[in-house]
Amino acid sequence: MRLATLLFFAAMAAQATTFYVTISGLGGEADYDQRFKMWADDIDSSLKKAGGDSNVITLIAPTREQIRAKLADVAKMAKPTDSLVLMLIGHGSYDGTDYKFNIPGPDISGADLAVLLEHIPATRQCVVNMTSSSGGSITFLRKSGRVVITATKAGTEKNATVFARYWADALRDPAADVDKNDSISALEAFHYAQQKTTDFFNTQKRLATEHSVLEDTGKGEGEKGPSAENGEGRLAAAFPLVRLGANAAAAQDPAKRPLLDRKEQLEQAIDKLKYDKAAIPAAQYKQQLAALLLELAKVQEALDKQ
């Protein structure tokens, strides 16, 4: 892929609004109701502090019609250059055929959600399904251009999950920012929450009842370890979820915002280029990477001087 093409797609992603829709479902008992609401509120708070062009929507135990109405509103506002992040917290069920997200009144199915997402023009979408049995929703939600993350690898993992707890932490913990660019990508958040979930079961000396996976090729079943080798994670690596530190401050400064946008364009282009490395002649790869890194250094220098 040529450098100009990389920058073109990255530019499309950067000059946009990100719509965040977080939904906590039916707990079934007071402890779960409180837990699900707390995690949703934590996510809401982190996203609103991050700054930039974002539209943050949080629904606590909504009905199916309320979910449909809210996503229909997003469909009316969103443009093709925008991004959508849908996050589901709570209980889910899977009967071997259908996945359902447990909410007050009739549940909403994976097929229902897929149809609603299809009507939202935003071409960059990330769905984070953190419910029990969420792996059963991958078949319905996967699509070219969409990142799908689930707390369980299959619909048969039916125990209540803890992945959402650590996903909420990932959106505010600088430790999740592995490449230290003051931005947490979908891939970084996934790895952080996945590792914290593993640590939880190990510390509790319990057999793990959930195994998170990521799918962003539009055709896979989800990978526990997304990488360039298996093709998973390419979109997630270049999908910024939340800004931290200097980036969050710059996003709210009109003088710095154009430079920040350019910085993010270049970082996303670099991430995509690294995933394409195996398909590019070595000399061409080094040339493109050097050009991107040089421009990134210049943009960062200008940003620091503002």
Q: What value does the mean pLDDT take over residues 1-29?
A: 68
Residue 301: pLDDT over 90:
no
Mean residue pLDDT of the chain comes to 91
At 44, list the tokens. Answer: 């809401």
- Please say if the pLDDT value at position 42 is more than 50: yes
Give pLDDT tens digits for 232-285. Answer: 999 999 999 998 888 877 877 878 878 888 888 888 888 888 888 878 898 888
**Distance in angstroms (rounded) separating the CA atoms of residues 19 and 31:** 29
What pLDDT sits at residue 51? 66
Given this model, what pLDDT does residue 52 score? 66
Strands 146-150, 92-94: pairing kind = unpaired
State residue 304's pLDDT score. 82
Q: Order of strands, edge to edge, in the sheet holding 213-215?
A: 54-60, 18-24, 83-89, 124-129, 146-150, 213-215
pTM reported for the whole predicted model? 0.88
* pLDDT on residue 247: 83
Q: Torsion angle of alpha carbons 234, 193, 97, 124, nearest 10°?
A: -40
In this predicted structure, the answer to whether residue 5 has a pLDDT above a threshold of 60 is: no
Enumerate domains of the chain plus CATH numbers. 17-246 (3.40.50.1460)
Q: So what's the pLDDT on residue 219?
A: 93
pLDDT at 15: 54
Residue 10 is predicted with a pLDDT of 43
Report the pLDDT value the prediction gives residue 255, as an integer from 0 to 100. 84
